[in-house]
Amino acid sequence: MGIEEIKKYLPHRYPFLLIDKVLEFEKDKRIVAVKNVTSNEPFFQGHFPHFAVMPGVLIVEAMAQSAAVLSLRSLNQVNDGKSVYYFVGIDGARFKRPVVPGDTLVFEVLQTAVKRGMAKFTAVARVDGVVASEAELLCALRPLE
């Protein structure tokens, strides 16, 4: 799945659209997505000027965006402007190595539970097969008021 199809499911746009493509998708189960980290990312100007490191919160956001694509594509729910898939909780977030320009982040997100309109996920971000970050995520599809 390329960037144009991803944009059908997510409302995010540059500079906050944080996944570039989807490599694997298993309905209601699993997604593998990719973010190519480049030196042109706007956050690198301030984080940090002397040693560029991708902020951990943006790595977690990219995992949540991957989870959203998994859920929304599984539901055949495109971005229609009438609802938002919110990132509502995080547990056990760990950051194991810095992510720097030139890295390719590969996100593997597994859906572990769905209950009362909320979905729980286990997410891992890897660079060259090495875990960079991991977390449990909670997301919910909600109508816009």
Question: Does the annotation mark 47 as catalytic?
Answer: yes
Regarding beta strands 104-115 and 118-127, do their DSSP bridges make them parallel or antiparallel, or are they unpaired?
antiparallel
Any residues with CB less than 8 A from the CB of 21 and at least 6 apart, and which? 1, 2, 3, 6, 33, 34
Characterize the bridge pairing of strands 83-95 and 104-115: unpaired
The number of beta carbons lying within 10 Å of the beta carbon of residue 96 is 13
Structure tokens at 19: 């996944």
Options 12, 21, 30, 47, the catalytic residue:
47
| DSSP bridge partners of 91 | 136
User: Any idea which residues carry the catalytic annotation?
Assistant: 47
